[in-house]
């Protein structure tokens, strides 16, 4: 019997998740199907309940339903609780378990695939929205020397820093208050790469020792990646690897098997550029 999984979102046509999970299942010889489904904005709970009642085994949840999935779950993992959002649902023993694999995906891509290290490093994170909230606990658990969250509205960054201070050394500030000296790792979690509007950053915030990572990805380098290149950053990456690695963690939660991510990232990168 085939186990059924899906990704729910609105919009959903652009989702790469079915391709990713097809490649994972082929690689690990899992008998499963994975589809994408457009969910009407006021029908999330109804659609999830129907999917589960028809024998569905698990779901990925994308925009705009991650907060609804958080509220819908019977049980939450600690990383889902701290992220305040759910991107993975597991139906088990008549319960709905909610998890958030985004931060794990980012850290795995950076440390395992790219070979960068957070340990003892000075880290700057731009933005204080849901995407950033989802990555802070896993980053702090890598024992960086310090993490600074900078945001246009400084109070949001300060609030996040206070919430996550139990996991490590973290501060929040406005863009104008960022220390004007090089950071080891800068992560862009703002929507600058969609709007093309990069936050105002101090002149000396990056140099040829800095590693730069954008949560966004696309066919062309993002505006943040171009800025990092202009600063001669030693390594620059986009978020395609994070997308694949967060999916791999969902796959592991559902199937108990951890797929290889590098060949899938290569496949998607080739498809993106063709």
Q: What positions carry a catalytic annotation?
A: 66
> Which is it for strands 146-151 and 88-92: parallel, antiparallel or unpaired?
unpaired
Q: What share of the chain is helix, strand, coil (3-state, %, to 5)?
A: 40, 20, 35
Distance between CA atoms of 242 and 118, rounded to whole angstroms? 16
- Token reading at 248: 């791999």
With the C-alpha atoms ordered 261, 262, 265, 271, is the resulting torsion angle positive or negative? negative
Per the listing, tokens 């490649």 go with 23
Exposed, middle or buried by CB within 10 Å (0-12, 13-18, 19+), for 194?
A: exposed
Residue 199, preceding peptide bond in cis (omega within 30° of 0): no
Distance between CA atoms of 7 and 63, rounded to whole angstroms? 10
Torsion of CA 106, 112, 114, 118, to 10 degrees: 70
């Amino acid at each position: 019997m085939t186990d059924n999984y899906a990704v729910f979102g609105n919009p959903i046509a652009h989702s790469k998740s079915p391709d990713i999970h097809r490649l994972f299942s082929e690689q690990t010889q899992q008998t499963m199907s994975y589809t994408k489904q457009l969910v009407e904005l006021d029908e999330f709970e109804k659609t999830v309940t129907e999917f589960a009642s028809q024998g569905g085994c698990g779901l990925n949840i994308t925009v705009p339903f991650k907060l609804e999935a958080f509220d819908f779950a019977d049980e939450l993992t600690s990383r889902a609780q701290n992220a305040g959002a759910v991107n993975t649902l597991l139906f088990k023993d008549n319960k709905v378990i909610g998890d958030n694999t985004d931060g794990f995906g980012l850290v795995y891509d950076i440390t395992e695939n790219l070979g960068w290290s957070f340990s003892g490093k000075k880290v700057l994170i731009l933005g204080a929205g849901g995407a950033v909230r989802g990555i802070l606990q896993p980053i702090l658990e890598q024992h960086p020397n310090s993490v600074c969250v900078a945001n246009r509205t400084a109070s949001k960054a300060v609030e996040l820093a206070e919430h996550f201070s139990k996991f490590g050394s973290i501060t929040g500030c406005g863009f104008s208050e960022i220390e004007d000296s090089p950071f080891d790792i800068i992560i862009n979690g703002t929507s600058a790469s969609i709007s093309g509007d990069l936050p105002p950053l101090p002149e000396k915030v990056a140099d040829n020792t800095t590693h730069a990572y954008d949560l966004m990805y696309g066919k062309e380098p993002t505006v943040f990646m171009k800025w990092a290149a202009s600063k001669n950053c030693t390594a620059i990456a986009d978020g395609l690897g994070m997308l694949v690695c967060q999916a791999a963690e969902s796959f592991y939660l559902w199937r108990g098997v951890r797929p290889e991510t590098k060949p899938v990232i290569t496949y998607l990168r080739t498809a993106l550029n063709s």
